[in-house]
Structure 1
Amino acid sequence: MPRPKRLLLSLLVMSMGSTAWAADRGAPVTQTHPVSQTYHGVRVTDPYRWLENSDDPKVIAWSDAQNTRTRAYLDHLGQRQVVFDRLMAAYRAQSPSYTDFHPAGGHVFAQAVLPPHQQPVVGVMDGGADPKTFRTIIDPDRIDPSGQTTIDWSVPSPDGRLLAVSLSRNGTEDGTVHVFDTKTGKETTNVVPRAQFPTAGGSLAWKSDSSGFWYTRYPGEERPEADRHFYQQVWYHRLGTPVSQDVYVAGRDFPRIAEIALDNYGVSQNGHAVLMSVQDGDGGRFQQYVIDQKTGQVTRISDFDDRVVAAAIGPDDHIYLISRRNAPRGEILETSLDHPAVADAKRLVAQGEGVIMGGAEFGGAPVIATRKALYVREMVGGPSHVAVFSPDGKPAGDIPLPPVVSVSDVTPISHGEMLVSFNSYLTPHQVMRYRPATGKLKPTPLSSTSPVSFADCETVRTTATSRDGTRVPMTVIRRRGTRLDGQNPTLVYGYGGYGISETPRFMGAWLRAWLDAGGVYVDTNLRGGGEFGATWHEDGALTHKQNVFDDFAAVSRQVIAQGYTSSSRLAALGGSNGGLLMGTAMTQTPELYRAIVSLVGIYDMTRIELDPNGAFNVTEFGTVRDPAQFRAMIAYSPYQAVRPGVKYPAVFMATGTHDGRVNPAQSRKMIAKLQADTASGYPIYLSISDKAGHGMGSAVNVRLGQTADYVAFLFDQLGMKL
Structure 2
Amino acid sequence: MNKPSAFLCLAAFAAITGCKTNAPSASVSTDNKAAVTAAATAKPSFMYPKTEKINHVDTYHGTQVPDPYRWLEADTAQNVAAWVKAQNEVTFDYLEKIPFREQIKQRLTKLWNYPKYGAPFREGDYYYFYKNDGLQNQAVLYRQKGLNGTPELFLDPNKLSEDGTTSLGSLTFSKDARYAVYTTSTGGSDWRDAYVLDVATGKKLADELHWIKFSGTSWHKDGFFYSRYAEPTKGSKMANKNEYHKVYYHKIGTPQSQDKLIWEAKEHPLRLLFAGTTQDEKYLILTASEGTSNNSLYVKDLSKTNSPIVPLVESFDKEYGVVENVGDKLIVLTNQGAPKYKLVEVDLKKPQQTNWKTLVPETENVLNSASLVNGRLILNYMKDAATLVRVHDTNGKWLHDVQLPTLGTAGGFDGKKEDKTVFYTFTSFTYPSAIYQYDVVTNTSTLFRKAEVDVDMDAYETKQVFYTSKDGTKVPMFITHKKGLQLNGDNPTYLYAYGGFNSAVTPGFSISRMLWLENGGVLAIANIRGGSEYGEAWHKAGMTPNKQNVFDDFIAAAEYLQSQKYTSPQKLAIAGGSNGGLLIGAVANQRPDLFKVALPAVGVMDMLRFHKFTIGWAWVPEYGSSDDPAQFQNLMKFSPIHNIKEGVNYPATLVTTADHDDRVVPAHSFKYIATLQEKGAGPNPYLIRVDVKAGHGAGKSTTAQIAEATDVWSFTFYNMGVNPYAAQ
- Alignment match, 2:5: none
Q: Which amino acid aligns with 1:570?
A: L
2:264 is the counterpart of 1:245: no
Contact between 1:454 and 1:512, CA under 8 Å: does it hold in 2?
A: no
Contact between 1:287 and 1:303, CA under 8 Å: does it hold in 2?
A: yes
- Which of 325, 333, 336 is the matching residue for 2:347? 336
Q: Which residues of 2 match residues 317-466 of structure 1 at below 5 A?
A: 317-357=328-368, 366-370=369-373, 372-412=375-415, 416-445=420-449, 447-466=450-469
Moved more, 301-310 or 495-504: 301-310
Contact between 2:240 and 2:613, CA under 8 Å: does it hold in 1?
A: no
2:132 is the counterpart of 1:113: yes
- Alignment match, 1:32: 53
Post-superposition Cα deviations, 1:636-678, rounded to whole Å, max 9, x if no partner, equal 1111110111111100001101101111111111111111212
Partners of 1:26 and 1:280 in 2: CA distance: 45
2:290 is the counterpart of 1:290: no
Change (3 A) 1:242 1:566: same
Partners of 1:674 and 1:171 in 2: CA distance: 27
The number of aligned residues is 675
Q: Which residues of 2 match residues 584-603 of structure 1 at below 5 A?
A: 584-603=586-605
RMSD: 2.1
Between the aligned residues of both structures, percent identity stands at 30
Partners of 1:642 and 1:461 in 2: CA distance: 34
- Alignment match, 1:14: none
Q: Which amino acid aligns with 2:448?
A: T
Change (3 A) 1:438 1:162: same
Partners of 1:235 and 1:382 in 2: CA distance: 37
Q: Which residues of 2 match residues 478-497 of structure 1 at below 5 A?
A: 478-497=481-500
Q: CA deviation at 1:613?
A: 3.2
Contact between 2:289 and 2:316, CA under 8 Å: does it hold in 1?
A: no
Q: Which amino acid aligns with 2:195?
A: H
- Which of 274, 291, 299 is the matching residue for 2:284? 274
Partners of 2:456 and 2:170 in 1: CA distance: 31
Q: Which residues of 2 match residues 573-584 of structure 1 at below 5 A?
A: 573-584=575-586
Q: Which amino acid aligns with 1:146?
A: D
Change (3 A) 1:563 1:343: same
Contact between 2:138 and 2:157, CA under 8 Å: does it hold in 1?
A: yes
Q: CA deviation at 1:217?
A: 1.9
Partners of 2:265 and 2:571 in 1: CA distance: 54
- Alignment match, 1:51: 72
> Secondary structure of 1:698's match?
coil
Change (3 A) 1:429 1:313: same
Contact between 1:691 and 1:702, CA under 8 Å: does it hold in 2?
A: no
> Secondary structure of 1:444's match?
strand
- Alignment match, 1:216: 227
Partners of 1:530 and 1:133 in 2: CA distance: 41
Q: CA deviation at 1:548?
A: 0.5
Q: Which amino acid aligns with 1:252?
A: A
Change (3 A) 1:333 1:306: farther
- Alignment match, 1:506: 509
Q: Which residues of 2 match residues 558-573 of structure 1 at below 5 A?
A: 558-573=560-575
Structure having greater relative contact order (Cα 8 Å, sep ≥ 6): 2
Partners of 1:222 and 1:60 in 2: CA distance: 20
Contact between 1:422 and 1:429, CA under 8 Å: does it hold in 2?
A: yes
Partners of 2:315 and 2:138 in 1: CA distance: 37
Q: CA deviation at 1:296?
A: 5.6
> Secondary structure of 1:438's match?
coil
- Alignment match, 1:668: 670
Q: CA deviation at 1:327?
A: 1.1
Partners of 1:332 and 1:531 in 2: CA distance: 18
Post-superposition Cα deviations, 1:55-106, rounded to whole Å, max 9, x if no partner, equal 34332222211100101111122322222222222222x123114x543223
Contact between 1:268 and 1:315, CA under 8 Å: does it hold in 2?
A: no
Normalising by structure 1, we get a TM-score of: 0.89
Q: Which residues of 2 match residues 122-201 of structure 1 at below 5 A?
A: 122-128=141-147, 130=148, 133-196=150-213, 201=214
- Which of 540, 546, 550 is the matching residue for 2:552? 550
Q: Which amino acid aligns with 1:429?
A: S
Q: CA deviation at 1:402?
A: 2.4
Change (3 A) 1:436 1:695: closer
- Alignment match, 1:714: 716
- Alignment match, 2:249: 236
Moved more, 469-478 or 271-280: 271-280
Q: CA deviation at 1:475?
A: 0.3
Contact between 1:312 and 1:321, CA under 8 Å: does it hold in 2?
A: yes
Partners of 1:308 and 1:515 in 2: CA distance: 39
Normalising by structure 2, we get a TM-score of: 0.89
Partners of 1:254 and 1:180 in 2: CA distance: 37
Q: CA deviation at 1:177?
A: 0.6
Q: CA deviation at 1:289?
A: 2.3
- Alignment match, 1:643: 645
- Which of 74, 81, 86 is the matching residue for 1:60? 81
Structure 2: runs of 5 or more not aligned: 1-44
Partners of 1:134 and 1:259 in 2: CA distance: 39
